Amino acid sequence: MEHTNEELNKIVLDFLNGHRKALLAVVSPDGKPKVSLMLYAVDENFHFYFGTRKAFQKYGWMKENVHVSLAVAEEALDPLRVVEVQGTAHFIREDRTADVLAYFESKNPSKYYVKGAEDFVMFRIEPDHVRWLDATSGELTMTDIELVLPDHKHEDDAGASQA
């Protein structure tokens, strides 16, 4: 069954809102990938919100190279359903962190181990590309999602991201 872009956006957002963990891939200065399991929240613009500590490698590496990938997978073996995202990391300004953290916690009530740390920071990933893999029909389909987004602007960036 063919879906409209709006229907696919809703299907994928519903899937993402039904999950709490993503695998985030960042790139080290020597070009090697590193994957971290992260708790996340997603908004209606397909922006993913995460928190970390400045002491963690991924923080420094994302400051140097803002290009990241993430994946959210159905935890059951069958049927396979996965969202893959490539995008840009934007660090949240310190004066906006509490508001973004409150939003995050309203969407993801999991125990959040790093939030009390003195060097806690939050960031947002804005997607450049989203792919939906779905095998609920019995056959694997891969669909590049054309995002249908409401108008938005962000006032929470901690400076410009590197392109």
Q: Where are the domains of the chain?
A: 5-144
What per-residue confidence (pLDDT) applies to 1? Answer: 61
What per-residue confidence (pLDDT) applies to 77? Answer: 77
Label the pairing between strands 81-91 and 120-134. antiparallel
Per the structure block, which two tokens stand in for 131? 């792919």
**What is the model's pTM?**
0.88
Indicate the fold that domain 5-144 takes in CATH.
Pnp Oxidase; Chain A (2.30.110)
Tens digit of pLDDT at every position of the chain (163 positions)? 688 889 999 999 999 999 999 999 999 999 999 999 999 999 999 999 999 999 999 999 999 999 999 999 998 878 899 999 999 999 999 999 999 999 999 998 888 778 888 999 999 999 999 999 999 989 999 999 988 877 655 556 554 443 3
What per-residue confidence (pLDDT) applies to 103? Answer: 93
What per-residue confidence (pLDDT) applies to 153? Answer: 59
CB of 127 within 8 A of CB of 87?
yes
What per-residue confidence (pLDDT) applies to 109? Answer: 83
- The neighbour count for residue 143, using CB atoms within 10 Å, is 14
CB of 13 within 8 A of CB of 5?
no
What per-residue confidence (pLDDT) applies to 28? Answer: 94
**Nearest C-alpha neighbor of 92 from the set 39, 46, 52, 38:** 52
What per-residue confidence (pLDDT) applies to 163? Answer: 33
Q: How far is residue 95's CA from residue 142's CA, in Å, rounded to a whole number?
A: 40
Residue tagged 């300004």 (tokens): 93
Cβ burial of 22 (10 Å; 0-12, 13-18, 19+) is: buried
